[in-house]
Structures are given as C-alpha cells and as structure tokens.
Structure 1
C-alpha cells in the first residue's frame, strides 16, 4: 500500500509501488546537474566547475589485497552491496549507462525516494604518466580507522559542532599536487549516477574500486559533487550534510564487511 506523502517526503518507508513510480519517471526526467560526467576525471575538478562552489566529498578505504580481491570488490559494486545500509537502499539496476536509479533513504523522521541515472561506467588500466584522476589510495586514511573516523564526523556534524570542511575533502591544489607526486599504476572500475529533476540534491556521485599494483592493495572510493537542489534541501542543509557523511561512513563499512565475508573460504 502506498505511503502517505507530503511534498517530497513519505511518512513511512516507500513501498514497491512508490519506488516503481519514481523509477518509471526517472527514465525520462532531465538531469538537474549541469556538468554530467565531470567526476570521470576528478579530482582535480576543471577550474570553471570548481569556481562554482560545489561541495566535494572524497572518501576512500582499503578493502583488501590482490587481483582476486579487486575482482570481488568489482562484483560487489555491480551488485550495489555498498548500498546495503538499512536506512538507505537502492533499486539495484544493472550497472550500465542510462539505467534508472532510485535511492530510498530515511532522514530523521521522513523517507525520500530520489531519482538518478547512471551517467557512465568504465574500467581501465592505471599507468604511470597517463593523465588520470587522483588514484583512490593517494592520501587515504588507514583502513582500520577510516570507518570510525567518518562515523564520528557525521555524528559531530549532526550535533552542529564540526566547523568547516570535513577532513575527507581535498582542495583543488592539494588534489593536483598529490596526483602529480603519486602517478597511479594498477586497475580501476568506476561508475557514477547523476541526479535528476525532483531530486533534493543536484550533483553526481562516483563509486570506484581500484587495485594498486605497487603494493597490491585494493581500495573503495566515493567521490561526490553536490549542492542542494530544492528550497527544502537548502533550508535543511546542515542535516543533509550530516546524512551525506553518514552515508560515506556506512558505505565504507559495508564494503569492508562484505569483502571480509567469506575471505577465509576463498569466496
């Protein structure tokens, strides 16, 4: 039975009919983000995009070692296991350009169903000397501390005591400097979904798994470019930022948990 809806908010968790209605609409809705695909080579962002003042969240965590671990992480990403969060879930479409994505999430006391569309999917080798984005392992926090650090960030933000830029963010000069100092070598799989009209946010989010051939580590990365897409989201921006940080923390934890599951049995 469809849930009672007030504006963009549902008073109970949206059921299958609610989610299917949003998914159907998302097949034809226009993007509400003007730089579709810009996260493909970020960071750093093009200077003209960076000058527009978008909020950038860049979080990453080590999830394993070896080519087999990279293959498993890639499969988990394609299965949307990084979205198995309880308070947030996704319709889990086949990962391909143009696929409609519906993110259902609980924010404080209300639920939302927000439409997105996969804007690109790519897998490539990372080679020294190639012009590519900052590799996920550059400047990354230790794996054991990452989830706890991100979780504490979101809790502090919700309490209103965290000033300024989160420690997971990087400025344009920092990103460019690290990219130049640490040219990547390995393999990378990534896809992004971009917000559509009716989404409370305007932006693009890239999910990446990458294998670093130099030390055999495997990384999971979330790179998000966003700002409020509606007046409601603008008014609730501090709460929105808190839940964006919570998503990053929980998603990193979910990938680490899924990668650890069955590790001893070779699954």
Structure 2
C-alpha cells in the first residue's frame, strides 16, 4: 500500500485488520526454515558476526524480540495485537499480522506480512528467530527469516534469509529500484543488530 503522506494510525490499523483475514500470497510458506525457495523466486542469504559468548546471544535474542533490525531510520514496524490494538514492539508470535512502514520519498510504503514460524532451539546449538511472509497488500511475494545463532565456537551471528519476486506490473517495472531498496534494508538491518549488541562484552 502506497501513501503520499505518512498514514494515520487508523489507516495502519485498518490495513492490519483487513490483511489479518487473508492468506499469504506466495508459494511454499516456511521454505526459509530449510534455506530453500520455490522456483522462480530470487533467493538471498546475508549474515553478520555479532560477537561471542552467552551475553551477546542473550542481547541479540532480545533485540530480535524487539524488532531492532528495523531501527534503520526509515522503517517502522507495527503489530496487530490479539485485542485489535496496534503495537510497535511485541515479541514475534506465529500467526501475527504485521506491517512495516517504509519512508521512500516521495511516498510511504506499507508492507503487510504474517509471522509464519518462530525458532527457539537450545539443543544442537542455540538459535532464535522467526520468518514472516507477504500478504496480498504487499507489493512483493516472498518470505524473510531473521535468525540469531551461536555456533560451536561460541560465535554469535545474525542472518537474513529471504526469497522474493515482484507481485504486479508496477513492481516488475521498478524491479531495479526495488532490488536496491531490499539490499539497502538488509545491509542496514545487519548494522542495526550489531549496534543492538555492541554494549555487551563477552
């Protein structure tokens, strides 16, 4: 949904309530859990080292819970609560309807998604994260996973795994621009997560 001015809270709530009753608009939901994508989608994996040790992992986990990867200066995140209220910092839960609001002059862009699954594993290494997938009101089709993990050496990583393709003619015609926006978001999201844990000393 494209707006020529910052949308009012009622506009954001109405969009979330409308999209909450719809299914995702892409093939094979959950594919990012296996680091795969359906045929015909662009697939990307990007990751960054956050640090080492339990304290870093704990801080990174908390940052994901608070959607800190959206602290990039031109994006905001809104979540539809179970009571119909709209929140900005609610821990991701499977089935949630959310929307990012991107400031992309001269427009504002609302991109509704649904949380497809969450990950909270402690057995074979430590992992925490979630994935969300696009809803019909989104200009693209696809899924994006945000994951914090600690390897067997105690090094903590944050990764973004995604697959996507254009949903309609406007998105296809503007694909080079959309692609640059995606790359900018990923780069700055990785940096935002580094900032979120840089106060921690292992």
Under a length normalisation based on structure 1, what TM-score does the superposition of the two structures give?
A: 0.68
Q: Are the structure 2 counterparts of residues 225 and 24 from structure 1 closer, same or farther at C-alpha, using a change threshold of 3 Å? A: same
Partner of 2:60: 73
Partner of 1:115: 112
Q: Residues of 2 paired with 1:107 and 1:233: CA distance?
A: 14
- Off by >3 Å, runs of 4+ in structure 1: none
Contact 1:26–1:101, Cα closer than 8 Å, also in 2: no
Q: Residues of 1 paired with 2:110 and 2:52: CA distance?
A: 36
Matched, 1:212 2:151: yes
Q: Residues of 2 paired with 1:126 and 1:211: CA distance?
A: 11
Contact 2:133–2:142, Cα closer than 8 Å, also in 1: yes
Q: Are the structure 2 counterparts of residues 196 and 255 from structure 1 closer, same or farther at C-alpha, using a change threshold of 3 Å? A: same
Matched, 1:239 2:186: no
SS in 2 for 1:98: coil
Matched, 1:86 2:73: yes
1:90-137 alpha-carbon deviations (Å, 9 max, x no partner): 11443110011111112342111111010000122464xxxxxxxxxx
Under a length normalisation based on structure 2, what TM-score does the superposition of the two structures give?
A: 0.89
Q: Are the structure 2 counterparts of residues 126 and 39 from structure 1 closer, same or farther at C-alpha, using a change threshold of 3 Å? A: farther
Task: Give structure 2 stretches of 5+ with no counterpart.
Answer: 79-87
CA shift for structure 1 position 23 = 1.4
CA shift for structure 1 position 259 = 0.7
Matched, 1:263 2:197: no
The number of residues matched between the two structures is 192
Which of residues 147, 155, 160 is equivalent to 1:222?
A: 160
Instruction: Report which of the two structures shows the higher radius of gyration computed on alpha carbons.
Output: 1
Which of residues 4, 14, 30 is equivalent to 1:11?
A: 4
Q: Residues of 2 paired with 1:112 and 1:76: CA distance?
A: 24
Q: Residues of 2 paired with 1:89 and 1:126: CA distance?
A: 33
Q: Are the structure 2 counterparts of residues 126 and 227 from structure 1 closer, same or farther at C-alpha, using a change threshold of 3 Å? A: farther
Matches within 5 A, 1:75-224: 75-91=62-78, 92=88, 93-125=90-122, 127=124, 186-214=125-153, 216-224=154-162
Contact 2:115–2:132, Cα closer than 8 Å, also in 1: yes
Task: Give structure 1 stretches of 5+ with no counterpart.
Answer: 1-7, 128-185
Higher helix share: 1
RMSD: 1.6
